[in-house]
Each structure stands twice: as structure tokens, then as C-alpha cells.
Amino acid sequence: MLFEIIIVLLIVSCSLFIHEMGHAVATVTVSKNSKAEVFMGSSSKANKLRLSFGRITCYLTIAISGYCEYSIPKEYPVFTYKQKFFFYLSGPIASLLCSVALFIASHFVSGVAGNIIMNSAGVNFLLFITSLIPWTYPRFLGGGPSDGLQILNLVKANRDERKFSTQ
């Protein structure tokens, strides 16, 4: 029983890490001056494994929530509408691609390992779906807005800005 709980926590943590790395890779891809930080769990940097991949820094622990924070030096322009849209969408896309890859891989592995891979595919697909729903996560899951809510707010703000500028 304890082993199964540990496996589930590891699958969820790894799935969240892949999702947040999707955001981080998008950040450093769209701007050569941007940096990204991936946090698993709280935004605290204490008592976490710190890994750096170029301009991406990760603070890792076993967690059921995570987020990616980007920064751009003040002398450079902020992200454009399209860059922000790509940033918000890249996490769910990473989850979907991982889900598909794991689903295909599960057909080549049998037994317990195949079941773990298939369940990992399911968790990634669930993360893809739930992150695109426009809602605010409960406090125990971080309490922040979902990617879908951030995309919706971005589209509304852009629509209002365009409407205002044409008047």
C-alpha cells in the first residue's frame, strides 16, 4: 500500500514537472534574454533539489502542484500577446505530447511496468484537460489560476485593448 502511494506521488510529480518544463522551454525559446524558474510545490527555494539547465532553474521536491515563473531584464520589452499565449499553452501541450508518447510506449511494455507507464499517460492526459479548463485551483493545489483561465483572461484583455484602440 505504501509503495503504491509513493508510485502515485512520483507519477504526479513527474507529470507536473513535464508540464511546467513545457512553460519553461517556451519562455527561453521566445526570448533570448528571458529566464525561467520551475517550482514544485511552494515557491520556497529552501529544502529543494536545485537543478539548472541553461536559463532554466528548477526547484524540485515531490509535490502535487507546481508553477513556472519567467523573468525578463528591465531593459528588454515585455512579452507580446503571442508570446504570452504560447507560454500559457505550452504546458498543456507538453502534457498532451507526453501522454501520447507514454500511451504508445505502454503497448511495448508488459506487466507492472506497462501498467505504470499507462497510468502515467493517463495522469498526463488528465493534467492536459484540467489545466485547460478556465478555473482557479483549490488552495491545496496551489490556489492559482489554471492555464485555461490565464489564456481566457489574456484573450479578453487583448480583445478589449483592440476594441479600445479602434474607437
| Lookup: cell for 71 | 523573468
Domain interval for residue 51 = 2-166
Residues 6+ away with beta carbon under 8 Å from 149: 134, 135, 136
Tell me the pTM. 0.95
The reported pLDDT for the residue numbered 69 is: 95
Q: List the beta bridge partners of residue 69.
A: 37
Phi-psi region of 111 (alpha: psi -120 to 50; beta: other; left: phi over 0): left
| Number of domains observed in the structure of the chain | 1
The reported pLDDT for the residue numbered 167 is: 67
The reported pLDDT for the residue numbered 126 is: 98
Sheet holding 49-53, edge to edge: 49-53, 56-60, 35-40, 66-71
The pLDDT tens digits of the residues spanning 72-122 come to: 998 999 999 999 999 999 999 999 999 999 999 999 999 999 999 999 999
The pLDDT tens digits of the residues spanning 39-72 come to: 999 889 999 999 999 999 999 999 999 999 999 9
